[in-house]
Structure 1
Amino acid sequence: MKHVVIGAGQAGAALVAKLRSLDAEAEITLLGSEPVPPYQRPPLSKKYLMGEMELERLYLRPARFYEEQRIDLRTSATVARIDRDAQEVELEGGERLPYDRLALTTGSRPRLLPAGIGGDLGRVYPVRSLEHIDAMVHEFAEGARCLIVGGGYIGLEAAAVAASRGLKVTLVEAMDRILQRVASVETSNYFRTLHQGHGVEIREGTGLVRLTGEGDVTGADLSDGSTLDVDFVLVGIGILPEDDLAAAAGLTIENGIAVDAQCRTSDPAIFAAGDCASFPWQEGARIRLESVPNAIDQAEVAAANMAGGEEDYVAVPWFWSDQFDVKLQIAGLNTGHDRTVLRPGARPGAQSVWYYRGDRLVALDAMNEPRAYMIGKRLIDAGRSIPPETAADANADLKALL
């Protein structure tokens, strides 16, 4: 059996490792567009950028792993197209790789600012890949003026690192509040206060009109009529599924590469997993999860089915974010919630927000509250709930309710 995997990120690395554990004889090829083995992305904008983690420690597995496991890892490999009729992958340069099963773990790409508003100026950086971080690391000098565009988790994590390094940080968010698309008012308020306490200037309801400068960026015009002098700009306005290759091959695209419960695309010989894949969710909905746990778990189910299994992927969403000395842990999806309750934490600066749809607990944000997170996640995973008034009562023994 010949397996080809396109995309050497978290999902691709998990998929080929699982495949090898299931099939000792299969031919496995992993194609990555970057010049390095698969690596962790979360530490890029934190420990790696801060100089606290060396490159080799980013690697998900030592480079020798792939050779020892007889996995043909090809770095700096660009795929030109997928020939579904011939069941071949064509690389730039013309080489063709036959496959019996193909997996797309192509991940995602950052949204970029349009060139028409200065997005193509020098010293304007997305925050996504090793190449991006290596290009910007020299900018993080004490006193430098940094503008961050976007008040989601990517922007806030970048702001935390920049402020910790002594930069003068301004963050602009076009919506009414930071984290508006993904979190409750209570969670937004918590992180606004946290960042402001560390000297980050946050401007909500303020959009970027244009970046200015000749060659390199030197300033920004904002929608409130103000202008800023800046030394560099970080762009954290979300990511898009990397599905162009799949679309060109005629696969069904629906907010990413559409797969069924067993991670098969509209072509039964092709599978997809990770950030690039959308899959069936509750009540007929289809979702795409952008997280390390999803990339690993979905990739391993895809691998099992590529090896002849019939497993369904059952997502258990959970996420995290590190900002300053706060660890945010998120369980579940808060989509469609109609009520939130705030539970004070056991220590100063700790709290949790519990999301309900009717009487059903659907999600939880825990800030420096690992105990509340653990209990809430177990409840959500089991499809159980506790009354909102119990969740809000700091004196209630949640563990006893398990």
Structure 2
Amino acid sequence: MRDHELRSILNDELHGRPGLPVVAPARITHLAFTLSEGDSDPLEHVRLLCDALGVKPPPPGAAHHAADIAGGQFKYERHGEFYRISVVAEGGPEKGEALAILPVGWVDGLPGSRLVGIHTRVMAKDEPGPDVAELIRMFGHEDLAGSRVSSGQATVWTDFRIGEDGYTRMLVKDHGLSPLRLGRVIRRIHEIETYRMMALLALPLARKVTGELGALDRALSKVTAEMLSARESHEDAELLTSLSRIARDVEEISSRTSYRFSAARAYSALVDKRIAELGEEKVMSFQRIGVFLDRRFSPAMATCQAVNDRIRSLAERSERASNLLRTRVDIALEAQNQQVLKSMEKRSHQQLRLQETVEGLSVVAISYYLIGILSKLIEGLGSYAHAEAMGKLVSIAIIPVVVFLVWYGIRRLRKHILSSEKD
């Protein structure tokens, strides 16, 4: 029996990104970085970290790597557009943030640009849960989102704001989840924030191209209106050039934005999926996380979708206008070609009649000179033979014969020339 060459790879994909178990109380820091051309490979930095901590390094080309380190756990994940670093540290907030268990300066040396930074505090089951006043004190304001999740086995609070230290704060209260299930809950809320930020990368681009699309929309409307009033063929040609320019600009915007908008839709779908997986229930007087995001995140995604739809609409409208105008130009050109053909046919008939006239004159002229020569010859022979009267009769008799022979010869010559041109 022979296994498929990809069997192991495809099967391992199902188990390739295991979650980190979390034992409360704990502190977790989650980071996500986008990479640009020229940035170094983050896997090399992970390998250096493992060497420094004395743990097993990742294999070459690894898309993920997790390790138990002194005081907690560490995990690296590589995605298409970004990579993530998660650090789980044992103990409560009195020990500082989770990054304290890593070598000093290692995080600062990571390649790429930080898009997401989250400090999450996990409270144990036996710790008293915070009340509203304590939550407001911890986050510094009351504009919070909170939900009971995982069938009421945990509670999550956050404000989705970036603090002065560059990190978003999250608080998780465990009500009896196993370490693996608690780790999955925390992973989901971190992914919600990560995918939300990745999706929102499309928003500045959408706002930027809105002005360009407005200008192109007005230009297209103007050209379409001018199409109705154009009467001359040169005006149609100018309008067709304008439409081609508009179509080119729309296509350039489409190629510049299509990937980002498609990615935004995919990330937005992941946000919705992760929220649904939380199984939210209302807690205290706070908005649920899903409701909080729906009121703020969904309009941004709707804006991106509207801009994408507008690009598609402009492309379709410019194509329809171009096709209509091109059809009108083709019809006008066809009419001009018909007129040219008719004119050429008329000139051909005129040339044929002129040619026939010239041929007739040529027959007369050639016959005249040939008859004159033959008449002189016959008259000379008649004088020599003393038969002048007979010579005159012969001269008269040969006239039709000479004319016929000249006409027939010219006709044969013309046919020969025409057949040579066809060959």
**TM-score of the superposition, structure 1-length normalised?**
0.22
**TM-score of the superposition, structure 2-length normalised?**
0.22
Find the structure with the greater CA-based Rg.
2
- The structure where strand makes up a greater share of residues is 1
